[in-house]
Amino acid sequence: MNDDISMERRSPEPAAHQPPIGITMGCPVGIGPEIILKFFAGRPSFSDHRFVVLGDMGVLRRTAGLLGLQVPLVAWRPGEAVPGGVMPVLDVSHLDPERLRWGRPDSDTGRAMGRCIEEAVRLILAGTLAGMVTCPITKTALNRAGYHFPGHTEMLAHLTESTDFWMMMAGRQLRVVLVTIHEPLIRVPRLLTRARVTGCIRATLASLRGDFGIQEPRLAVAGLNPHAGEDGMFGSEEAEIIAPAVRDGGENGSVSGPWPPDTVFHRAATGGFDAVVAMYHDQGLIPFKLLHFSDGVNVTLGLPIVRTSVDHGTAYDIAGQGVADPSSLAEACRMAALIVANRGRGRAE
């Protein structure tokens, strides 16, 4: 089995001078506050980097009290040392916790979400934070607050002036990168171009090397059609677009395909490949979530900053009930620390 513990380069020992990694709280009336508190209550063992929370102290204190979570919260200011054994909080918003209702976002909670994201990016670009881990937001409330973006990733791309960015879903058993993301299936064939697929391949190779420390990555590229087109019987995209992109993006035989989509993910999950480039959302995320429903991590490629995220939504139906699972957040934090360390090592070399 090819798991990421054996393949990835390990982070260095903790250093006092390393900037902390920021965790944005996400929607104040979703499960973000709860999973953050549970993450800190679990006292993460991979403390290669300290973590600080960008959020709302009042919301976090109220959540801790309601759910009976014994986590010491302390105020933190940018540039201060990050103490161990506590949960440092940069108080970005000041909502009235008594007015909020679980699962009912509004423009005020949307504004709080947006401000946390903006502040995290600002502090990373200033060198005060080493990277960011994002908890889930709701796009509707974000738009109501005046942030007119389809989601987190597009907002981060805007804030960092990035134009070419890609979604990687990463777990200990499988990594998948998407050429197209939230698009209707009828549009996918029209959006696939040789340049777009090539760009995704190159970004994935760069991430496997620089972020995950895999110096000789093995990358598989899935076809679009059943049986990867079956020599043109079921479609021409493989021959006309995907195969040429594999040739354009491949380096030293590290990229292969197009592979039949119904078998390539099994091969990757059992150690045959380090990642798979998928052509559209459900092609890649159905096999990924079958394996990593609770512990998957969203990694944004192509940004000048390190950003990982939980692989789930705000879960309004269970918010405030104390049953939210912090596993994806823990993995996102672990992966952010790993990527920060590997990128730092790469710059040093």
Which residue segments constitute the domains of the chain, with CATH numbers given? 1-163+305-349 (3.40.718.10), 173-294 (3.40.718.10)
Q: What is the pLDDT of residues 321-343, one digit of tens each?
A: 999 999 999 999 999 999 999 98
Q: Do 89 and 61 contact (CB within 8 A), yes or no? A: no
Compute the distance between CA of residue 344 and CA of residue 349 in angstroms, rounded to an integer: 9
| Range in 100-109, 229-238, 283-292, 295-304 the model is least confident about | 229-238
Tokens standing for 37? Answer: 């508190």
Residue at token pair 């480039």: 277
Closest CA to 60 of 42, 84, 81, 39: 39
- The model's pTM: 0.89
**Interstrand relation of 307-310 and 297-301 (parallel, antiparallel or unpaired):** antiparallel
Compute the distance between CA of residue 147 and CA of residue 204 in angstroms, rounded to an integer: 29
Residue at token pair 């979604």: 167
CA distances from 191 to 31, 224, 235, 241 (A): 34, 12, 15, 11
Instruction: Please state the separation of Cα 286 from the chain's center in Å.
Output: 17
b/e map 220-230, b = 16+ CB within 10 Å: bbbbbbebbbe
Q: What is the dihedral of CA 186, 310, 205, 343, to 10 degrees?
A: 150
Q: What is the pLDDT of residues 36-45, one digit of tens each?
A: 999 999 866 5
Q: What is the pLDDT of residues 245-261, one digit of tens each?
A: 999 998 666 999 999 99
